Amino acid sequence: MPGNLNPAAPVGVMPYGLCSAFQEELRLEANVNSYPDGSSDRAALALNVRHFFRMTRKVTAAQYAALWQFYSSHPTDAFYFYNLRETVPPWTWDASGNQPSGRYIVVFDGSWSDTTMMGRSEASLGLREVA
């Protein structure tokens, strides 16, 4: 049927050491038409909020290499990300991606950003929920 989309097929799980320092943002996307008199029309594009995750943190050379390797191997592929606060029991992680609690199917949102410093580097990236 035209217009139907296949759900994202996740490829892999974000490593445990990289899941621990994300900020979570919930968005309800909407179309907004603004008019010169200050009035507006609004229409929600979804019934449920979409999760966005952002990370900016200082990482060691090993963490930087692991993060860059994971980022470069999943440029457009969906993958599992565990929000460790929501897992059961809390702060657990499943390498196979079979545990559904706290798991999101995400893609990278935006580009890679980093700052190289002595001893540690600072990496910044975002994730967007797709399913």
Contact 101, 88 (CB under 8 A): yes
- A 10 A CB-CB count for 53 gives 21
**Residue 30 pairs with which residues in a beta bridge?**
44
Contact 29, 105 (CB under 8 A): no
Q: Give the position of tokens 């019934």.
A: 47
pLDDT band at 7 (very low <50, low <70, confident <90, very high): confident
Residue-by-residue DSSP string for 4-50: --PPP----B--GGGSSS-EEEEE--EEEEE-TTS-EEEEES-SS-E
pLDDT of residue 101: 92
Domain boundaries, the chain: 16-22+54-129
Q: Is the pLDDT of residue 3 over 70?
A: no
DSSP, collapsed to helix, strand or coil, labels residue 78 as coil
Contact 52, 61 (CB under 8 A): no
Query: To the nearest whole number, what is the mean pLDDT of the chain?
Result: 87
Q: Is the pLDDT of residue 31 over 60?
A: yes
pLDDT tens-digit map of 74-84: 888 999 999 98
pLDDT of residue 2: 59
Q: Is the pLDDT of residue 61 over 60?
A: yes
Q: Is the pLDDT of residue 99 over 80?
A: yes
pLDDT of residue 36: 94
Q: Is the pLDDT of residue 127 over 60?
A: yes
pLDDT of residue 1: 52
pLDDT of residue 16: 83
